[in-house]
Amino acid sequence: MEKVEVRDAKGKLGVMVVGVGGAVASTFIAGTLSVRRGTGKPIGSITQLATIRLGRRNENRFPKIKEVVPLAELDDLVFGGWDIFEENIYQAAVHAEVLKKEDLDAVRDELEAISPIPAVFDQDFVKRLHGTHVKPEATRRRLTEQLREDIRRFRTENGCERIVVMWAASTEIYIPQSPEHESLEAFEQALDADRRDVIPPSMCYAYAAISEGAPFIMGAPNLCIDIPAMWELAGRENVPVCGKDYKTGQTLIKTVLSPMLKTRMLGLEGWFSTNILGNRDGEVLDDPGSFRTKEVSKLSVIDTILQPDVYPELYGNIYHKVRINYYPPRKDNKEGWDNIDIVGWLGYPMQLKVDFLCRDSILAAPLCLDLVLFSDLALRCGFSGIQSWLSFYFKSPVHTPDRVPEHDLFIQHTILKNTLRRIIGEPTLDYLD
């Protein structure tokens, strides 16, 4: 198979995070710094730990991905970004209470050197937060230009060859796709007209990043890059984008259990999911507008995997309910509880109960690392637009209307690794050997 022409991963790679002082971002940055100092292990990261089978089974070739795929080195990563609070990343990580103080102190000097850039913030889109480190109010066009200036300045000051921009900030309120999102021309007209009702801050960041040639990763369920205007811009600038909503706790479980039910042709009557979460994400999602955005993302998984139109006798009348409850004492230690009513032989009922006591940011941090390295790889491969091969990492993978998104975790995993095989000129696997 012909190998993809991949530009060398030379020089520094800037990682600019929106919400750089949040629990997810500070855990990701502190953890990556710890790994590259040799004081921590990158558990959960495919780019750092996973192997990839090459060739036929009897060849017994299972190198680590990072040994054969030309990824950027961790030593070349430079971190920065924007936040609505001015704490440096050490202070922010202490405040988040995810990592132990001794782990943070091991990389304190590097964390304290990272101070956030004032953020673009609009409280109409995140009602439960009150930003104090924000850019002065201006038109959407002017704010977008300021973000582009921030990216260029960061690139110059840190001597970066390339930049990746990642959203790890809060979930914005739900907004439907509008005519202003249907084309790049319509979007730019709305930008110039300061249409704040249809252009939330996240779209300003995405537009700025793509315009500056930086891949954009959407880690929340915000509409943002899930619109034709952004796909058109990414195609014009030859920039990869991916998203949306990091697949961490409860939805990760759904993408594992749903394929199990379907492959065994077991029926499903109902799936009730509830969460308790006490960090800033939980506080934001306590607002009905932001929760609606998250709810749409979480609800899409089961129907897409189980195909009720194809199997109406098994999945044609599923009752699916999702709840998220803000419970401050839990902080970042989320608990996801699922009650699953399934149907077996001759229609006899059975149940599954899942109680996942997880740590939200601990699950998200390795995803952030992988997505940064793979998005940079995609850029150097000349890939542009939606990177569906990275759907493995997202609850609600971005897709064009003419394509059905793939939610099955194991199929997503196969697509991810087959794409890596194609990049390095190895045959893709059909597992028939």
Query: How many domains, the chain?
Result: 2
Q: Where a domain ends, among 357, 382, 407? A: 357
Token pair listed for 123 = 């409280």
**Residue 169 and residue 172: Cα distance in Å, rounded?**
9
Picking from 394, 428, 415, the residue whose alpha carbon sits closest to that of residue 166 is: 394
Q: Who's near 137: CB < 8 A, 6+ residues apart?
A: none
Positive or negative, the Cα torsion across 168, 170, 176, 182? negative
Tell me, yes or no, whether 204 and 328 share the same domain: no
Residue 432 maps to a domain:
no
**Residue 175 and residue 280: Cα distance in Å, rounded?**
21
Tell me, yes or no, whether 208 and 100 share the same domain: yes
The number of helices, as runs of H, and strands, as runs of E, in the chain is 16, 11
Tell me, yes or no, whether 353 and 367 share the same domain: no
Residue written as token pair 């699950």? 363
Q: Where a domain ends, among 331, 357, 383? A: 357
User: Residue 93, Cα to own-chain centre: how many angstroms?
Assistant: 20
Look at residue 41 in the predicted model and tell me its pLDDT.
97
Tell me, yes or no, whether 104 and 124 share the same domain: yes
**Residue 69 and residue 370: Cα distance in Å, rounded?**
13
Look at residue 253 in the predicted model and tell me its pLDDT.
92
- The answer to whether residues 99 and 30 touch, using CB atoms and an 8 Å cutoff, is yes
- The answer to whether residues 254 and 339 touch, using CB atoms and an 8 Å cutoff, is no
Tell me, yes or no, whether 176 and 119 share the same domain: yes
Q: Where a domain ends, among 308, 329, 357? A: 357
- Per residue of the chain (433 residues), what is the pLDDT tens digit? 567 899 999 999 999 999 999 999 999 999 999 999 999 999 999 999 999 999 998 999 999 999 999 999 999 999 999 999 999 999 999 999 999 999 999 999 999 999 999 999 999 999 888 999 999 999 999 999 999 999 999 999 999 999 999 999 999 999 999 999 999 999 999 999 999 999 999 999 999 999 999 999 999 999 999 999 999 999 999 999 999 999 988 889 999 999 999 999 999 999 999 999 887 777 777 777 777 876 776 677 888 899 999 999 999 999 999 998 989 998 888 899 999 999 999 999 999 999 999 999 999 999 999 999 999 999 999 999 999 999 999 999 999 999 888 989 999 999 999 999 999 999 999 877 7
Cα–Cα distances (Å) from 114 to 83, 158, 303, 364, 380, in that order, read: 11, 12, 42, 20, 27
Look at residue 80 in the predicted model and tell me its pLDDT.
98
Tell me, yes or no, whether 266 and 137 share the same domain: no
Token pair listed for 314 = 């098994």
The CATH number covering residue 166 comes to 3.40.50.720
Residue written as token pair 């704490």? 87
Q: How many CA atoms lie within 13 A of 392 on its CB side?
A: 20
Tell me, yes or no, whether 200 and 324 share the same domain: no
Could you tell me which residues are beta bridge partners of residue 355? Answer: 337
Position 318, amino acid: I
Q: What are phi and psi of 336, to 5 degrees?
A: -110, 125
Look at residue 284 in the predicted model and tell me its pLDDT.
77
Look at residue 278 in the predicted model and tell me its pLDDT.
83
Residue 433 maps to a domain:
no
Residue 307 maps to a domain:
yes
Tell me, yes or no, whether 256 and 234 share the same domain: no
Q: Which structural domain, as residue segments, surrounds residue 188?
A: 12-246+362-423
Tell me, yes or no, whether 317 and 213 share the same domain: no
Length of the chain: 433
Q: Who's near 109: CB < 8 A, 6+ residues apart?
A: none
- The answer to whether residues 35 and 42 touch, using CB atoms and an 8 Å cutoff, is yes
Tell me, yes or no, whether 331 and 387 share the same domain: no
Tell me, yes or no, whether 327 and 220 share the same domain: no
**Residue 28 and residue 111: Cα distance in Å, rounded?**
11
Strands (E), 19-112: 77-83
Tell me, yes or no, whether 297 and 391 share the same domain: no
